[in-house]
Amino acid sequence: MSSADLLSTVVSFKDWAVWVLLGVVAAFGALGGWAHQLVLPADNKRPRPHSIVVGAVAALGVLFVVGAEDPVKVVAVAVVAGYGGKSILDALENRLKVVAAEKDREKAQEQGLQAVAVGREAISFAQKLGEQPHEPYKADQAASETWKGLVAQLDRLENSLKK
């Protein structure tokens, strides 16, 4: 999140409409949590405040994902999310983990491509050193084959990172 996004988020908290929206969503989520409490079997009833709080939190979490385009949709989604409660929160948690893992993968891919670029520079530098005048050795041919093999390995690594 950039500092401009953070600043606009902080500024939006000054708007009472935001707080009203959050309150309405939490209230209807709590209603959904209470409705879920009503349909639980008698032997599996949790304390009522638990279901109400979890319903409100789940509805607020879903608001983050779904957004608030239509008031009727907001109310309906809040009630359903509240009813789903813990299952909704688990799904939201998993979604956030996937987003974090994707960012980690992208970062690792970028670092891998940078490593390939550094490897190519090292090979190029070593090849230039090998081209300087010196007495020929049998090792020159072996070194040349080694460089070709390293370049091929870097090519394969780079192609796998770009997928």
Q: What is the pLDDT of residues 28-47, one digit of tens each?
A: 999 999 898 888 777 776 67
Which band of pLDDT confidence, cut at 50, 70 and 90, is reported for residue 65?
A: confident
The pLDDT of residue 19 is above 60: yes
Q: What is the pLDDT of residues 93-117, one digit of tens each?
A: 898 899 899 999 889 888 888 888 8
Longest Cα separation, the chain: 92
Tell me the percentage of the chain whose pLDDT exceeds 70: 80
Which band of pLDDT confidence, cut at 50, 70 and 90, is reported for residue 49?
A: confident
Query: Exposure string (b/e) for 89-104, b if CB count within 10 Å is 16 or more?
Result: bebbeeeeeeeeeeee
Task: Write down the pLDDT at residue 122.
Answer: 80
Task: Write down the pLDDT at residue 16.
Answer: 85
**SS3 at position 120:** helix
Tokens 């005048």 appear where?
A: 133
Which band of pLDDT confidence, cut at 50, 70 and 90, is reported for residue 67?
A: confident
Q: Which two tokens stand for residue 102?
A: 């994707």
**What 8-state DSSP symbol labels residue 13?**
T
d(CA 102, CA 23): 32
Q: Which residues contact 21 (CB under 8 A, 6 or more apart)?
A: 63, 68, 74
Q: Highest mean pLDDT range out of 65-74, 103-112, 152-161?
A: 103-112
Task: Write down the pLDDT at residue 116.
Answer: 83
- The lowest-confidence range among 72-81, 83-92, 136-145 is 136-145
